[in-house]
């Protein structure tokens, strides 16, 4: 019997995807649900917690400027014992592919606590793409007792790795639950949204851009910026780019793309503002994982600037185009969506392969019915 559940996350993407699950768990009286944040990200994490009205029961506050992955890992492992000792959970729920998820899962395993892995089974089978996420999620899969896979493909990946079928459950992705809740709760009168509205020209096609992958640092990111600069020369587009705070990204972007009329560079946007912007966009160019899942629910095509993706379902369904980081291919794919209207309309009409917003209910129902 599962009574005491500890939900642990540390980054903004994890918080977005776990927030609706926390809300759903807290509705069920048989569960005592508590939240622990490692704060692997700090400011961006706090913004999501505020939007979803979640107050952590445990806050490890581990973010430290320029810390290495090994430093972060050791600090997570070192501090989870005290949390487990105080709360004594029957189950720890972790999410996805972060350093938080793999290290917390290892700490729970060492303490003999059952582990549930939300968004389980995503794979590229290239340990450097994405780095370090691919290895993180494979480690978590080896440790987890319950695997909540978003799609049948994710389930098949786990089964091919000899994970017991009895422990794998296809749920859809909780990011859709978060998105649908979020879109209905956006405050359109926020100052940030009003400022963006002043920039947007409704006669132009709005392209929203994000980029943060470690494997794209260096020459690949230069190519990406050159493609955006060339796109900005078109009179029919506008580009809004919330720039990641990592100095490896921020320095290059502001050197290459500052003071261009058709490009608005911004600080990272709070989740509430970003999903409003996503809904307003014509298309998205990104190396993010979550946006590949979110945008199809809003009818927005996605161009993914990565060499591989663990979200093959969206490519197979036609919601996403995987282009890599070559400037020419990025430009060709973007221009096709800008100019080939039948092709664009076909992409926007595809069904989202990641679910319809009921993933959290499926997970909670399963946990409530465990003997």
Tens-digit pLDDT profile for residues 170-185: 999 999 999 999 999 9
Cβ atoms 270, 51 nearer than 8 A: yes
Question: Which residues, including other chains, have CB under 8 Å from residue 87's CB and lie 6 or more apart?
Answer: 4, 6, 34, 57, 58
As given in the structure block, the two tokens for residue 30 are: 């048989």
- Residue of 283, 306, 193 lying closest to 237 (CA atoms): 283
Tell whether the model's pLDDT for residue 96 goes beyond 90: yes
Instruction: Give tens-digit pLDDT for 201-249.
Output: 999 999 999 987 666 666 677 888 899 999 999 999 999 999 987 777 8
Could you tell me which residue, 244 or 84, shows the higher pLDDT?
Answer: 84
CA 183, chain centre distance (Å): 16
Q: Answer yes or no: 293 catalytic.
A: no
Average pLDDT over residues 274-294: 94
pLDDT, residue 371, reads: 60
Residue count (the chain): 371
Could you tell me which residue, 259 or 214, shows the higher pLDDT?
Answer: 259
Lookup result for tokens 């969206």: 314
Q: Which domains does the chain have, with CATH numbers?
A: 4-173+356-368 (3.40.50.2000), 191-348 (3.40.50.2000)
Lookup result for tokens 């422990």: 167
Residue of 14, 24, 119, 177 marked catalytic: 119
Tell whether the model's pLDDT for residue 53 goes beyond 80: yes
For residue 250, name the pLDDT band (cuts at 50, 70, 90): confident
Backbone φ, ψ for residue 117 (5° rounding): -110, 110
pLDDT, residue 155, reads: 98
Residue of 156, 214, 230, 234 marked catalytic: 214
Tell whether the model's pLDDT for residue 28 goes beyond 70: yes
The per-residue pLDDT of the chain, averaged, comes to 94
As given in the structure block, the two tokens for residue 340 are: 């080939």
**pTM for the structure as a whole:** 0.89
Average pLDDT over residues 97-101: 97
β-bridge partners, 168: 147
Q: Answer yes or no: 97 catalytic.
A: yes
Cβ atoms 95, 101 nearer than 8 A: yes
Residue of 42, 190, 212, 234 marked catalytic: 212
pLDDT, residue 215, reads: 66
Q: Answer yes or no: 214 catalytic.
A: yes
Distance CA 335, CA 357 (A): 32
Residue of 14, 24, 97, 272 marked catalytic: 97
Measured from the Cβ of residue 125, the count of other Cβ atoms closer than 10 Å reads: 10
pLDDT, residue 7, reads: 98
Percent of the chain with pLDDT over 70: 98
Residue of 147, 213, 244, 306 marked catalytic: 244
């Amino acid at each position: 019997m599962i009574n005491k559940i500890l939900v642990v996350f540390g980054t903004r993407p994890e918080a977005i995807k776990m927030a609706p699950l926390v809300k759903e768990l807290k509705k069920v009286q048989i569960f005592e649900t508590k939240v622990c944040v490692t704060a692997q990200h700090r400011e961006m994490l706090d913004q999501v917690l505020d939007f979803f009205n979640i107050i952590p029961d445990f806050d490890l506050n581990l973010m430290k400027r320029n810390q290495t992955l090994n430093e972060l890992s050791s600090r997570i492992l070192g501090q989870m014992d005290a949390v487990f000792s105080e709360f004594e959970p029957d189950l720890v729920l972790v999410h996805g592919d972060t350093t938080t998820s793999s290290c917390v899962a290892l700490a729970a395993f060492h303490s003999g606590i059952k582990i549930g892995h939300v968004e389980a089974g995503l794979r590229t089978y290239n340990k450097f793409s994405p780095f370090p996420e691919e290895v993180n999620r494979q480690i978590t899969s080896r440790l987890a007792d319950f695997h909540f896979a978003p799609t049948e493909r994710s389930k098949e990946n786990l089964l091919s790795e000899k994970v017991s079928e009895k422990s794998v459950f296809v749920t859809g992705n909780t990011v859709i639950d978060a998105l649908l809740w979020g879109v209905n709760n956006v405050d359109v009168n926020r100052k940030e949204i009003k400022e963006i509205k002043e920039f947007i020209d409704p006669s132009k096609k709005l392209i929203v851009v994000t980029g943060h992958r470690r494997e794209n640092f260096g020459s690949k990111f230069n190519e990406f910026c050159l493609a955006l600069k060339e796109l900005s020369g078109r009179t029919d587009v506008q580009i809004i780019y919330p720039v990641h705070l990592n100095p490896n990204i921020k320095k290059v972007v502001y050197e290459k793309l500052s003071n261009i009329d058709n490009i608005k560079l911004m600080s990272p946007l709070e989740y509430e503002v970003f999903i409003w912007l996503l809904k307003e966009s014509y298309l998205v160019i990104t190396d993010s994982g979550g946006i590949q899942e979110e945008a199809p629910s809003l009818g927005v095509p996605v161009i993914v600037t990565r060499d591989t993706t663990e979200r093959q379902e969206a490519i197979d369904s036609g919601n996403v185009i995987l282009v890599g980081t070559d400037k020419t291919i990025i430009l060709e794919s973007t221009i096709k969506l800008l100019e080939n209207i039948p092709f664009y309309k076909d992409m926007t009409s595809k069904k989202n392969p990641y679910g319809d917003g009921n993933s959290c209910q499926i997970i909670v129902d399963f946990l409530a019915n465990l003997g």
